[in-house]
Amino acid sequence: MTLKLILIGIGMWFFIEGAIYAVAPEFMRRMADYLSRMPGREIALAGIGSAAIGAILIVITVRWL
């Protein structure tokens, strides 16, 4: 994996996150409020699941595309 691909991935991450905040700021405010009331264990499990999906997508992309 090259540095160029890593930077593209990070740039896409910032772009998507910024676009969500720009398009739906009230939704993001409600999500932040919702997350503040969730137990830490549920947030950690969601993070692990998200990281696993991301890792699987990376492996699939690098290996087969």
When the pLDDT of each residue in the chain is averaged and rounded to a whole number, the result is 92
User: How many domains are there within the chain?
Assistant: 1
**Residue-number span of the structural domain to which 27 is assigned:** 3-64
Residue-wise pLDDT for 30-56, tens only, equals 999 999 999 999 999 999 999 999 999
Crossing angle (nearest 10°) for helices 3-23 and 25-37: 100
Burial class (CB in 10 A: 0-12, 13-18, 19+), 35: exposed
Quote the pTM value: 0.69
* Residue 9 identity: G
Q: Letter for the amino acid at 19? A: A
